[in-house]
């Protein structure tokens, strides 16, 4: 059966456009991997596909959750896997596109064997001196202690937390997972869109201006006051502050653009660590690099 193709990249990089081009060329259907585009009620705010794009090829997992519903990487994986298998069963490529790194990782590699954080334990660790945490980590897991920056409290605390919660050395779990990941990555088809920093920032500014003149204010005004997870979407807090008269429109626009630039930088850092993704450069003012993407997929397999 056709394999899924992952099209990743930072926000505003054009990955959705490239995914559409690939879907048309290869015969495929788009599967969303953006944490906020899963929610309905704010397609402008989240830069969801337009009505015209939705008519071009079938799209899946857009606007399927109520803003009051909680979602995490595991729930997303459970939602996406049956959709992907159904598309593959019809002989088509599922083209998974988005910029939510953890969601993509859970889908492509499976969940990490490391236990999730425990707030109660973390509070106890936070009360202790860093030197005490470093000493205990060295006793419980000398290998992990030797490769952990002992001056970084967050890294030391997390490594010790894993040891305490799992009852196993953190290094053992990490090494086993990395070995398994390398095996998985040998069969993955993935691309990541790369933009020049100045070009990406300009696109973010343009998207922000377009969003604020195309209905985002009305969308946010119509959202519930309390939301589980969706309230973290960039733009909601800033627009609510403007609607409440606490900041000007210019401040609202700049704060959204700045937060988006910071988010894009974190995304770029995440995707650079994912060595299985083949970089597809997209020069400024150029059409979608479809030929480059197709060559990358052809060379990979």
Q: What is the pLDDT of residues 117-161, one digit of tens each?
A: 888 998 999 999 999 999 999 999 999 999 999 998 988 999 999
pLDDT in the model for residue 80: 98
Same domain (yes/no): 95, 197: yes
Query: Are 198 and 157 found together in one domain?
Result: no
Both 78 and 222 in a single domain? Answer: yes
Global pTM reads 0.86
Assess whether 192 and 140 both reside in one domain: no
Q: 3-state secondary structure string, the chain?
A: CCCCEEEECCCCCCHHHHHHHHHHHHCEEEEECCCCCCECCCCCCCCCCCHHHHHHCCEECCCCECCCCCCCHHHHHHHHHHHHHHHHHCCCEEEEEECCHHHHHHHHHCCCCCCCCCHHHHHHHHCCCHHHHHHHHHHHCHHHHHCCCCCCHHHHHHHHHHHHHHCCCHHHHHHHHHHHHHHHHCCCEEEEEECCHHHHHHHHHHHHHHHHCCCHHHHHHCCCCCCCCHHHCCCHHHHHHHHCCCCCHHHHHHHHHHHHHHHHHHHHHHHHHCCCCEEEECCCCCCCCHHHHHHHHHHHC
Query: What's the pLDDT tens digit per position in 202-228?
Result: 999 999 999 999 999 999 999 999 898
Indicate if 218 and 103 belong to the same structural domain: yes
Same domain, 40 and 188: yes
In this structure, the answer to whether residues 245 and 204 fall within a common structural domain is yes
């Amino acid at each position: 059966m056709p394999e899924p193709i992952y099209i990743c990249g930072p926000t505003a990089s054009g990955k959705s456009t490239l995914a559409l081009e690939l879907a048309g060329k290869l015969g495929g259907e788009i599967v969303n991997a953006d944490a906020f585009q899963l929610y309905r009620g704010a397609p402008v705010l989240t830069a969801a596909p337009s009505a015209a794009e939705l008519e071009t090829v079938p799209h899946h997992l857009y606007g399927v959750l109520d803003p009051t519903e909680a979602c995490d990487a595991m729930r997303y994986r459970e939602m996406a896997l049956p959709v992907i298998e159904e598309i593959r069963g019809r002989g088509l490529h599922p083209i998974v596109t988005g910029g939510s790194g953890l969601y993509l990782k859970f889908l492509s590699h499976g969940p990490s064997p490391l236990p999730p954080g425990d707030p109660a334990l973390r509070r106890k660790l936070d009360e202790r001196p860093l030197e005490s945490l470093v000493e205990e980590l060295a006793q419980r897991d000398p290998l992990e202690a030797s490769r952990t920056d002992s001056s970084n409290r967050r890294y030391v605390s997390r490594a010790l937390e894993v040891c305490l919660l799992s009852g196993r050395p953190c290094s053992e779990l990490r090494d086993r997972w990395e070995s398994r990941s390398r095996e998985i990555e040998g069969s993955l088809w993935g691309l990541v869109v790369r933009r020049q920093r100045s070009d990406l920032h300009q696109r973010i500014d343009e998207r922000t201006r377009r969003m604020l003149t195309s209905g985002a204010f009305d969308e946010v005004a119509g959202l519930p006051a309390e939301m589980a997870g969706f309230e973290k979407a960039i733009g909601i807090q800033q627009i609510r502050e403007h609607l409440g008269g606490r900041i000007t429109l210019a401040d609202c626009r700049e704060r959204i653009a700045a937060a988006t630039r910071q988010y894009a930088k974190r995304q770029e850092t995440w995707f650079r660590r994912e060595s299985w993704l083949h970089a597809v450069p997209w020069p400024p003012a150029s059409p979608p690099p479809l030929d480059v993407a197709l060559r990358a997929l052809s060379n990979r397999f």
